[in-house]
Amino acid sequence: MKILRQVWQTVLHNKLFSAIYIFGTALAIATVTVYAVTLWAKVAPVYPEYKRSNTAYIDKVQITSKNGNGFYQSTLGYDAVSGIFSNLENATTTSAFLDKWENHFVQPEIERGNFKIKLKATDPAFFEIYTLKFLSGKPFDSAEFGSGLPVAVITDRTAREAFGPVPFDELTGKDISIDNTKYRICGIVREGSPSEQTSYGQAFIPYTSVPDYDSPGPRPLVGNYTMILLTDDFSALKAEVRDIVNRYNNSQDQYICDLISCPVDHYTARLNTNYIDDFSIWSFLASLGGVLAVLLLVPALNLSGMISGQMENRLAEMGVRKSFGATRRPLLGLVLAENLVLTLAGGIIGYAFAWILFNLGVADIITEVEYGQETVFTAETVFSPIIFAFTFAVCCLLNVFSAFIPAYRSLGAPIVKSLKN
């Protein structure tokens, strides 16, 4: 308590210095927090993608002509999804969704204009991989999927915009008009974040209800499908898929199939968008450490210069403390404690400022989101204990980097020199 009282008195005594220090720290923490949360949202187990550590994707295929007349690159075709990759032994769950890169609109019952939604045409296994929270009803089942029935799971936000403040239980079984086609609502779920690209949707329908869902692509195995897999052994899954592709290529006379490093695990898919074969999570973390060091180095140097000047003004005070028996170690601890209080205050303000930046859409600049959707970071992501711990660690590092060296050098001055000041 005595140290805290001394720290507080010093902070109040140097109001201008404290204000500038807190403001500089807040800007640094806000920048680092925005970067950290954007990255965390890509890899953390957050709603509804809680199984990211076991998730893999096959979403790229390249078909090359054996006569050398060029190649065609796209996502998977229906023949690949329903045929050669449909019964993978090393995948515990296999799902796919169809995306024709079209705009979709809901024709609401309430008096308002049509509104645009993100429509996800998928299969029942999708709801086993992504644990969407059902507020009413249930997902469409295999029978409805196999029959291609026009049924839909919609999000709470879509339900409110289409029907107004109607209880969700009353909406289950009603029809919703999507692209002027009637779909029976079989369930309502809590909406996720557009930044979770593969799981995000505002309405989910069976892809078998989409016209021409099984049409062949311009090349074998090419189309508009992305496969999502759950696996307990990613290496075995990758080897199995590679073997299937090799056998397929050996059976073809005209074309060679290349999946471009697929299947890829979730972390590679989100952190290595080009699917480079030699990608390493450790090299990525090393480069991330370099980025954070740069983001912290500049404010640390500025704050260090401020603290150095402040310590020059406090030489007499430190000299008096030394004359009464204080040694360098407790005095250094006092200075670091003072600056830690200021750093934490700046950290709290910086954290709040980062939240404001998220709501202003600043994260859109560094986050790839499909269809120009608004980037939304949920409280589960931004206020994660990991992010709190990270921000606190950054505050401590910034405090040590900026305060330790100037304080240590200043406190090494002889008592007589300190008292002369």
Confidence (pLDDT) at 346: 80
Q: What is the pLDDT of residues 322-373, one digit of tens each?
A: 665 666 677 777 777 777 777 788 888 887 887 777 766 655 544 444 434 4
This prediction's pTM? 0.77
Average pLDDT over residues 2-25: 69
Query: What is the rounded distance in angstroms from the CA atom of residue 250 to the CA atom of residue 265?
Result: 27
Torsion of CA 342, 346, 349, 352, to 10 degrees: -130
Can you tell me whether residue 172 is helix, strand or coil? coil
Locate 346 and state its tokens: 């700046």
What proportion of the chain, given as a percentage, has pLDDT over 70?
72
Determine which of 71-80, 99-108, 158-167, 389-398 has the lowest per-residue pLDDT on average. 389-398
Q: What is the pLDDT of residues 277-326, one digit of tens each?
A: 566 666 666 666 667 667 666 676 666 666 666 666 665 666 666 665 66
Q: What is the pLDDT of residues 260-285, one digit of tens each?
A: 889 999 988 887 766 655 666 666 66
Contact 66, 255 (CB under 8 A): yes
Average pLDDT over residues 245-255: 89
Query: What is the rounded distance in angstroms from the CA atom of residue 237 to the CA atom of residue 149?
Result: 32
Locate 140 and state its tokens: 């469409």
Q: What is the pLDDT of residues 115-169, one digit of tens each?
A: 999 999 999 999 999 999 999 999 999 999 999 999 999 999 999 999 999 999 9
Q: What is the band of 170 on the pLDDT scale with cuts at 50, 70, 90?
A: very high
